[in-house]
Chain A
Amino acid sequence: MLQAADAWFSYDRRTPVLLGVSLDVARDGFVGILGPNGSGKTTLLRLLAGTRQPQRGSVTLDGVPLVRFSRGALARRMAVVPQETQLAFDYTVLEVAMMGRYPHLGAFEIEGPADLSIVEDALAATGTLPFKDRLFATLSGGEKQRVVIAGALAQVSLEDFRPEAQETRPGILLLDEPTASLDLGYQLDVAALLRRLHDERGVAIVVSTHDLNLAASLCRTLVLMREGTVVAAGAVEDVLTRENVRRLYGVEADMIDHASGHRIVVPVRRLAAGDRE
């Protein structure tokens, strides 16, 4: 559904950040992007979201290049959740989530009852409806992240609630290290939320993360990136191997297949530079 094909990108047109990255997000996809700092994960998410355009190669949605979509049309299909959200002014939770409805409204249009019910439904789905009137700034990190996810969900929701409508046009959430600044409890909250949105609402999800175990338990497919290229891609159990962890991070790790059915990565030690390949 959402596809990057041999995408190249450079911010300053000299040092390339992505060197021919290809990636495929299926209709019911749950894709994890893993890689060390500076490997190009965030840039790849920007290309997938259409806020940056590849200088070579292409990014397409349902076979149509993203540049052919209007900003609004893209925003109605895909929403981005950044690592952290800081507001310049004291908006309430409801106001923040309501900003997700921006691409559905005309220039001078005011959100109507349908928008309100979509947003309240999204807040309920993320467990944040009880504090919809609180100030966003007063929430904890995990609560904030769930509110931002609610806004993203409202952004890709159609006013047409029928399951057929959602099926022909599933929304896509792109999350950039959504749990990086959260403690363990909130990490699990957000992970459970993402799994529910994927399983129950048919939302396709692309998530970049440093947390290998989270990625292993959540995602169906993984894309491993290093220095702007894809090192490996495929099903979790095929890709998340000792060799790949060593190539990616220069870390020796043990793999344990846990009773839960998920693979657990236990980092053992950092390897000297020469031992990595």
Chain B
Amino acid sequence: MTVGARVARTVTAFGILAGATVLLAPLVGSTSISLRRVFDFSIPFRDNADAQIFFVARLPRTLGGAWVGACLASAGVVFQGLLRNPLATPFTLGVSAGAALGAMLAITFDWSLTRFGIPAVPAAAFAGSLVAVAIVYALAQARHRGLSTSVLLLAGVTLNAFLSALILFVQYFADFADTYRTLRWLMGDLDVSSYQPLLAALPLGVIAFAAFAWLARPLNLLSLGPDSAESRGLNVAFAQRAAFFSASLATGAAVSVGGPIGFVGIVIPHLVRLLVGPDHRLVLPASALFGAAFLVGCDLLARTLLAPVELPVGIITALIGGPFFLWLLIKKR
């Protein structure tokens, strides 16, 4: 089968999975609603309680989960390809720590300014991720060509540790309620109650995913190593920068909506590679769609497992992702 046919088949299969999850997840909750009534357009919207619950109360959160899952999973694929390291995650290079510090500052010092309809915490988180990205990039930019992947990794890991220390430092000045909010944020939580944060993140996502579409083949070549990729006609320096910035953008956009939700960016790419092989033209779209379905599913569990208590979704992804990842490691032997 040609690559084109395989891409079409993969996108269809994972697209159906993601679409079904997004459509069915809002049906489950404290009040059960019926899909038929939701899409029964003969009833006016204001009289249709099922449709109101579906579209106003639950769909934003479901779409938020799908969006964050798609961003984190595909950013994970791109970082793994860029760093030529299957253990890389969207958070390896310090993007999430920068976002966490931003969110933390906004919570602790009660920044309440709202610009362009975006509340302060996500905006501060996104700004924090950009600062972290800029620092790592400045450090890793080799003098002559390309990005040094070893410096990228070292700088990212060090920045993660340093920013975590800063977070604790700021935490020291926070009162009890702020500390609790920060902790909830750090666990990763999809408490999206309107379409606004999604619409604000959408342009970033469009840019990042357009870059991912172009990056699929360059990432295949990069896995040969930079010299071999260059001699096959790839502008390695450009491809590395595009990968770094687009994946950082997607990560920042996802973290600003849902906090640093762990394991999606590493478990999903690995699972997808087991299913469709390593070709990034298949892995990238499949991971985005599967990541969306996975996070929506995890959020469904988080909402319903101990209802009416809502667990942060980051706990569920870690509880599922951690053991799964260990199983992957053992299975590879």
Contact = CB atoms under 8 A, between A and B. Distances in A.
Interface string A1-16: 0000000000100000
Contact of B278 (A74, A89, A107): A89
Contact of A100 (B4, B227, B232): B232
Interface residues of B, number: 32
A56 interface: no
A111 interface: yes
Contacts of B220: 91, 95, 99
B231 A102 contact: no
Interface stretch (B79-87, B152-160, B304-312): B79-87
Given A51-B227, A111-B3, A91 B233 contact: no
Contacts of A209: none
Given A85-B225, A88-B84, A89-B278, A51 B234 contact: no
**Which bracket fits the contact residues of A?**
35 or more
A100 B214 CA distance: 18
Contacts of A116: 2
B224 interface: yes
Given A88-B85, A107-B214, A102 B233 contact: yes
A80 B234 CA distance: 13
A71 B3 contact: no
B7 interface: yes
Contacts of B37: none
Contact of A108 (B144, B214, B277): B214
A113 B3 CA distance: 11
Q: Helix, strand, loop or mixed for chain A's interface?
A: mixed
A112 B233 CA distance: 19
A58 interface: no
A88 B223 contact: yes
A90 B7 CA distance: 18
B235 interface: yes
A1 B7 CA distance: 41
Interface in B273-295: 273, 277-279, 281
A79 B231 contact: yes
A90 B278 contact: yes
A99 B2 contact: no
A155 interface: yes
B230 interface: yes
A178 B81 CA distance: 26
6 contacts: A51-B227, A87-B223, A88-B81, A96-B224, A103-B232, A113-B2
Interface of A: 11, 46, 49, 51, 71-72, 74-76, 78-80, 82, 85-92, 95-96, 99-100, 102-103, 105, 107-108, 110-113, 116, 155, 174
Given A89-B81, A89-B278, A108-B213, 16 more contacts: A11-B144, A46-B227, A75-B232, A80-B227, A80-B231, A82-B227, A85-B224, A87-B223, A88-B222, A89-B86, A92-B277, A95-B278, A102-B221, A103-B232, A111-B2, A111-B3
